[in-house]
Amino acid sequence: MSYQTSDKTRQRKDAKRTAMMQAAVRVFADKGYYAATVRDIAGCGGGHWHVLLYFPDKETLFVYLRMRKRPIFSCKRCNRR
């Protein structure tokens, strides 16, 4: 018997993952890739292990963000989406 997640649980997971990605974009934009830490991202997005639950390390998260086809949110600083 396989375990199936409910729609509500799936939506909650997706929301947390999106929040982590938005936090990462903010931290990378403010500090740069090399100065940013997973702890910084977690401080903006809800918890250290939440980041590591969805992304094994900072590099994987950064590459994932760069490979996305659409932006996570609009950038006011550069006036584009």
Per-residue DSSP letters for 6-62?
A: -HHHHHHHHHHHHHHHHHHHHHHHHH-TTT--HHHHHHHHT-HHHHHHH-SSHHHHH
Q: Is residue 73 part of a domain?
A: no
Q: Is residue 81 part of a domain?
A: no
**Structural domain containing residue 39:** 8-67
Q: Is residue 79 part of a domain?
A: no
Mean pLDDT of the chain: 79
Q: How many domains does the chain have?
A: 1
Q: Is residue 48 part of a domain?
A: yes
Q: Is residue 76 part of a domain?
A: no
62 vs 52, higher pLDDT: 62
Q: What is the CATH number of the domain that holds 63?
A: 1.10.10.60
> Is pLDDT above 80 for 25?
yes
